[in-house]
Amino acid sequence: EDQVVNGHDEKDNNPFAEYMWMENEEDFNRQVEEELQEQEFLDRCFQEMLEEEDQDWFIPSRDLPQGVGQLQQQLSGLSVGDSHGSEDILSKSTLNPDAKEFVPGVKY
């Protein structure tokens, strides 16, 4: 059987093998920092792109003056009159109901 000395197998050439990653710790840290900076840069670019896109969109509540927004709300509350109102309009009309139908481009 293999003999174990100080927690390492006798075959193990380098008892500090598990700590060898520390040799390149500065390179590893530099690489991680570069990746974090790149990610931060991409996030900022993406945020700027979204802000530019928002500026290109027309948003009535933001882009119209306040009075126009109120007018839009009033207009959206309006509805087409029911049939009773249209009968009143027809009874008061001075149009000729027997007139020929207007067709653009045709001369009578």
d(CA 72, CA 61): 10
Q: Does some domain include residue 66?
A: yes
- Give the domain range for residue 52: 16-92
Q: Does some domain include residue 99?
A: no
Half-sphere exposure of 53 (CA within 13 A, CB side): 6
Report the pLDDT value the prediction gives residue 104, as an integer from 0 to 100. 86
Residue 8 in this model has a pLDDT that exceeds 70 = no
Q: Does some domain include residue 23?
A: yes
- 78 in helix, strand or coil? coil
Q: Does some domain include residue 10?
A: no
**pLDDT tier at 99 (50, 70, 90 boundaries)?**
confident
Average pLDDT score over the chain: 77
Half-sphere exposure of 16 (CA within 13 A, CB side): 5
- The alpha carbon of 59 is separated from its chain's Cα centroid by a whole number of angstroms, namely 13
Report the pLDDT value the prediction gives residue 93, as an integer from 0 to 100. 79
d(CA 63, CA 84): 39
Q: Which residue has the tokens 């009578």?
A: 108
60 near 73, Cβ under 8 Å?
no
The domain total for the chain is 1
Which carries the bigger pLDDT value, residue 87 or residue 42? Answer: 42
Report the pLDDT value the prediction gives residue 33, as an integer from 0 to 100. 95
Q: Does some domain include residue 100?
A: no
Partners of 9 in the β-ladder:
4
Q: Does some domain include residue 106?
A: no
Residues in the chain: 108
pLDDT digits (tens, 9 = 90+) for 42-78: 999 999 998 888 777 777 667 766 666 677 777 777 7
Q: Does some domain include residue 2?
A: no
